A and B are shown apart, each in its own frame.
Chain A
Amino acid sequence: MLGLAGAVGALIAAVVLSIVVGSNQLGPDELWHALTAYSGTPTDQVVVDLRVPRTVAGLVVGAGLGVAGAVIQALTRNPLGDPGILGVDAGAGLFVATGVLLGAVTPVQYLPFAFLGAFVVTVLVYLIGSAGRGAPDPIRLTLAGVALAAVLTGITTAMTLLDPVTFNRLRAWNAGSFVERGFDVILPALPFAVVGVVLALICARPLNTMGLGDDLASSLGTNIVRTRVISVVAITLLAGSATAIAGPVAFVGLMVPHISRWIVGPDQRWIIPYCVVIAPVVLLVSDVIGRVILWPSEVPVGVVTAFVGAPVLIHLVRRAKASSL
């Protein structure tokens, strides 16, 4: 409980940091004025129309990716699970590009395509990664994800290169960043992310028993098929809504469940709430780093998370015992 309070404290600090720091340095009184008495001055616009939506996007995307990572890791008993590494983002990206080609214009119209893509790739990677029965082999799962991601990203790039209109619409989205993500994108995606988190919490207990092995889990009364189906739906909703908002952002879903597990131990009922809080912290701090490191221009948050997250991946495989689920 104390840990969760600390995490919430860190989250509040990250939110404040994300609103305060930017290419336009603002004093506390200007911020306060913008938030409490919006009067349409340029400063007010920067804060309310740019930084607040951006921060909210970080919160939603972070929670989505973090919980999706936790569910993937628990479902596949694979410490290296991450929606980005396993190609779920790339699948959503390909389907969104297809959607744009078919005439989707607003980000709201991207949503169904992102969900469909995330769902198809999640199922596909799971099927390729598992030997058809039992838990999938981590290495095979990782490779299947990386290979699928490469293929899907290649097709997406080819499509965008062939069609300049699509290219132009998706250029900002494909970078994996929170720039210019307004509430028009965030609000439609938010309910799906919330449902995803709720489904993940429902799965938490059965996922705990499934961690003991499928046989033991079913003898303890867990419905394995139902848990798998709900988990995949949760991953789809979480990763799909996160990707629809921010584009592909890798490694957050990998890191955060490990940090959570390190704080609370192996109980999914605690890991998932912790992920909801910690993942936005990681993402918002990464976004702030991306804003200041190339000041006055910006580095997309996906690039920063790759820099931070890839060493975590390497550290995880270097540990003597790779799995601690």
Chain B
Amino acid sequence: MSPVDFGSRTAVLRHGRFSVRFRMRTALMCAALALATVTVAILALCLGDLPLSPVDVVSALLGSREGIAHLVVFEWRLPRVLSAVVFGAALGVSGAIFQSLTRNPLASPDVIGLSAGSYAGGLVMIIVFGVGAGSVPVAGGAIIGGLLAAAAVYLLAYRNGMHGFRLIVVGIGVSAMLEALGVYLILRAKLEVAMVASVWGMGSLNPVGWAQFVPAFAVVAIVFLGLGFLVRPMRQLELGDDAARSLGSRVEPARLWLVVCAVALTAVVTGAAGPIAFISLAAPQIAQRLTRTAGIALAPSALIGALVLTASDIVAQYALPDNLPVGLVTVVVGGGYLVWLLIHEVRRRR
């Protein structure tokens, strides 16, 4: 018999007219996760062909211009590590929004076809319009592809209301078609373009420099700020449409904006680094288990996403004899987690 939940300890911060109320456990967990992410990020900055000590890295970050550490950290490693942190956070939040909206832990962008849509959209830009991987037009194509895929999956899965099972299977079908489209496009392309597209299509942080990171970061930052206004309706939507309406939320616009934000987050990451699988599925679930919240929480999901992607990128670069695309590491880790989740749910239901 599980212990009775009497609610959790909360703390309130007040400053003038504003007050913030948060759960102690969530806050502590977030602090711990942030610390872990920073530690892993510094580790990532230390590793490479030219190993640096953490002291060198930290002093270079704090503005010391001595030696080669400054150049190595700022020009070579920082864009990649910052991308891992920011993209991981974006994917975690994107998954959290979808899982909250559908009230289904499996309805993440990877499973319901949005990632595949972004992938196909980006691929069309690279192959048909010949723009370079990781550029702004690719991100634009990824956003359009993601939104179209979202609309297609929603319309195809809608029949006398929305049903989680249909949503997921329709998503799997749409993903399969879009991936087949990707193979077709790559076959059609010239060899050089096809190779660029293939590397991009596996999801890798290799080609990410400041030029790719800065625009992507700007979009992610704007979306995160916008989400500040949408958190309250999101919480209310979790109670059901009727309850949300009676609490004063405008249900349909709120849902639409949440979907747009979530698609934008996945698509921007896909545009810059290619499809990085299963972070958006796993991060919110891990966050919910760690913080033991009732619903899906955004901040812990973002931090877990950042931590997992940064750590995965270290594994992808250094754990094996060759440098692998990070998407392969996350697909194994995240897919394995999905399998575990399925087994776990079976046990609980018995």
What is the interface of chain A, defined by CB distance below 8 A to chain B? 80, 85, 128-129, 131-132, 138-140, 142-144, 146-148, 150-151, 153-155, 157-158, 161-162, 175, 250-251, 294, 297-300, 302-304, 306-307, 309-311, 313-314, 317-318, 320
Taking the closest CB of chain B, its distance from the CB of A132, in whole angstroms, is 7
| B187/A162 in contact, CB under 8 A | no
Q: Please tell me if the beta carbons of A139 and B169 are within 8 angstroms of each other in the complex.
A: yes
Interface size class of B (residues with CB under 8 A): 35 or more
- The complex places the Cα of A144 from the Cα of B170 at a distance, in Å, of 16
| B298-350 at interface with A (beta carbon < 8 Å) | 320-322, 324-325, 328, 331-332, 335-336, 338-339, 342-343, 345-346, 349-350
22 contacts between A and B (CB under 8 A): A128-B339, A139-B168, A142-B168, A146-B111, A146-B172, A147-B336, A150-B335, A151-B339, A154-B332, A154-B335, A162-B320, A300-B183, A303-B180, A303-B184, A306-B179, A307-B177, A307-B181, A310-B174, A314-B156, A317-B165, A317-B169, A318-B156
* B179-212 interface code vs A (CB 8 A; 1 in, 0 out): 1110110011000000000000010000000000
| B166 x A317 contact (CB < 8 A) | yes
Inter-subunit contact A294/B188 (CB<8 Å): yes
Alpha-carbon distance between A72 and B284 when the two chains are bound, in angstroms: 33
User: Which residues of chain A are near B106, meaning CB under 8 Å?
Assistant: 143
- Residue contact B324 to A161, C-beta cutoff 8 Å: yes
Most buried by B among A128, A150, A175: A150
| A304 (CB) vs chain B CBs: closest residue | B180
Write the chain A residue with the least CB distance to B181: A307
B321 touches A162 (CB 8 A): yes
Nearest neighbor of B330 in chain A, beta-carbon distance: A154
Whether B328 pairs with A314 at a CB distance below 8 angstroms is no
Task: Give the residue of A153, A250, A299 whose beta carbon is less than 8 angstroms from that of B184.
Answer: A299
The CA-CA distance from A306 to B106 in the complex, in Å, is 23
Q: B110's closest neighbor in chain A, by CB?
A: A150
Beyond A144-B339, A147-B339, A162-B324, is A314–B180 a contact (Cβ under 8 Å)? no
Chain A nearest CB, measured from B338 CB (Å): 4
What B residues does A314 contact at CB under 8 A?
A: 156, 169-170, 173-174
When the two chains form their complex, are residues A310 and B328 in contact, meaning their CB atoms are under 8 A apart? no
Residues of chain A within 8 A of B350, CB atoms compared:
131-132
Docked-complex contact A251 and B176, CB < 8 angstroms: yes
Shortest CB-to-CB span from A130 to chain B, Å, is: 8
Knowing A151-B336, A158-B324 touch, does A307 contact B169 (C-beta < 8 A)?
no
> Which residues of B lie under 8 Å from residue A157 when comparing CB positions?
202, 328
**Interface residue from B164, B169, B339 paired with A148 (Cβ < 8 Å):** B339
The answer for the CA separation of A302 and B184 in the assembled complex, in Å, is 11
- Tell me whether A154 and B342 are in contact (CB under 8 A): no
The minimal Cβ–Cβ distance linking A183 to chain B, given in whole angstroms, is 27
Q: Is the interface of A mostly helix, strand, loop or mixed?
A: helix
**B277 contacts the other chain (CB 8 A):** yes
Closest chain-A Cβ to B239's Cβ sits at a distance in Å of 25
Is the beta-carbon distance between A310 and B169 smaller than 8 angstroms? Answer: no
Whether A250 contacts B335 by the Cβ 8 Å rule is no
- B278 beta carbon closer than 8 Å to chain A: yes
Check A310/B342 contact, CB under 8 A, given A151-B332, A157-B202, A300-B183.
Answer: no
A320: which B residues are within 8 A, CB to CB?
A: 159
Contact A128 B169 (CB under 8 A): no
Given A150-B335, A151-B335, A151-B336, output 5 extra A-B contacts at Cβ < 8 Å. A140-B342, A148-B339, A150-B338, A310-B174, A320-B159
User: Could you tell me if B332 and A250 are in contact, using CB atoms closer than 8 angstroms?
Assistant: no
Task: Say what secondary structure dominates the interface of chain B.
Answer: helix
User: Which B residues lie within 8 Å of A307 (CB)?
Assistant: 177, 180-181
B157 surroundings in chain A (CB, below 8 A): 317-318
Q: Is the CB of A310 within 8 A of B346?
A: no
Residues of A within 8 A of B172 (CB): 85, 142, 146, 313
> Which B residues are in CB contact (< 8 Å) with A140?
342, 345-346
Contacts A128-B343, A140-B342, A314-B173 given; does A154 touch B331 at CB 8 Å: yes
Residue of B nearest to A176 (CB): B183
Contact A318 B278, CB 8 Å, known A147-B335, A306-B180, A311-B173: no
Contact A158 B335 (CB under 8 A): no
Q: Which of B277, B278, B320, B338 contacts A158 (CB 8 A)?
A: B320
Q: Given A144-B342, A155-B332, A317-B165, are A294 and B187 also a contact pair (CB < 8 Å)?
A: yes
* Set B184, B338, B346: member contacting A147, Cβ < 8 A: B338
Cα distance, A161 to B332, chains bound together (Å): 15
Complex-state Cα separation, A314 to B72, whole angstroms: 50
* A143-B338, A162-B320 as given contacts; A151 in contact with B331, CB under 8 Å: yes
User: Which of chain A's residues have a CB closer than 8 A to the CB of B188?
Assistant: 294
Nearest B residue to A318 by beta-carbon distance? Answer: B159
A313: which B residues are within 8 A, CB to CB? 169, 172-173, 176
Most buried by B among A143, A153, A157: A143
Measured CB to CB, the closest approach of chain B to A79, in angstroms, equals 10
A147 to B330, CA, bound (A): 12
CA of A129 to CA of B342 in the docked complex: distance in angstroms? 8
Q: Compute how far the CA of A302 lies from the CA of B181 in the bound complex, rounded to whole angstroms.
A: 11
The distance from the CB of B222 to the nearest CB of chain A, in whole angstroms, is: 31
What's the least CB distance linking A78 to chain B, in Å?
11
- 9 smallest beta-carbon distances between A and B, as pairs: A306-B180, A151-B335, A154-B331, A147-B338, A313-B173, A150-B335, A310-B177, A310-B173, A314-B173
Give Cα A154–Cα B276 distance, bound, in whole angstroms.
12
Cβ of A155: which chain B residues have Cβ within 8 Å of it? Answer: 332
Contacts of B166 in A (CB 8 A): 317-318
Beta-carbon contacts of B40-56 to A below 8 Å, as 1s and 0s?
A: 00000000000000000
